[in-house]
Structure 1
Amino acid sequence: MDIPVMVRWALLALMAAQLFPIVSALRRMRRPEAGPRGEARLDLADALGCVVLLGGFAIDNMAVALSGLAVMGVAISLSAGRELRARRRL
């Protein structure tokens, strides 16, 4: 399946927009507190998974896109588990 050039440019723009959450997560990982660093790792994995997913769609490679989707799924499920565990402690 051939992807139109306009869609490829849109995917490239979305990949560039994902640089902001990556930079934000990397800055939070440098903090000395342990709590924000753990959450930042999950946010970084989520943002990198999104970049891989969009890149897989852009180059028309479904294996790469599915691997990005898998990374995003793991990161989102782990962060949801952390949120539930934090609510139960309150």
Structure 2
Amino acid sequence: MDFPETVRWTFAGLACLTLAALVREIRRLRRAEPGGRARVRWDAADQGAGLVLTVGGALGSLHLFGAGLVLTGVVLGGKAVRAVRARRRTTVGRPST
């Protein structure tokens, strides 16, 4: 994959920002209470997948970029399923009108 030089530098900057966000999520994971750890794990996985995606773009590696896209899709799908399950859990006990 051949990106122009400015696009690669943009991806490199985004990779640095994503790495900083991943470190923040890992720190949140260490402090999280057991009930909130699942949400923080999904957020950390999202940042990790984004890091793979941006590093792949910065290096111009189609394999890393594609793996990052797949990982991001899987993580976002998992977060969506978790959100739908949480919403169903809260609405099951309510009577319908």
TM-score greater than 0.5 by the shorter chain: yes
Structure 1 moving runs of 4+ over 3 Å = none
How many residue pairs match? The answer is 90
Flag the 1:28–1:36 CA change in 2: closer, same or farther, 3 A: farther
Q: How does 1:21-40 map to 2 (within 5 A)?
A: 21-40=21-40
Contact 2:8 2:60 in 1 (8 A): no
1:59 and 2:91 matched = no
Distance in 2 separating the partners of 1:75 and 1:28? 18
The root-mean-square deviation of aligned C-alpha atoms, in Å, is: 1.5
The amino acid of 1:75's aligned partner reads: V
Q: TM-score, normalised by structure 2?
A: 0.81
The match for 1:71 is 71
The match for 2:94 is none
Which sections of structure 1, spanning at least 5 residues, go unmatched?
none
Contact 1:50 1:72 in 2 (8 A): yes
Q: Secondary structure at the match of 2:31?
A: coil
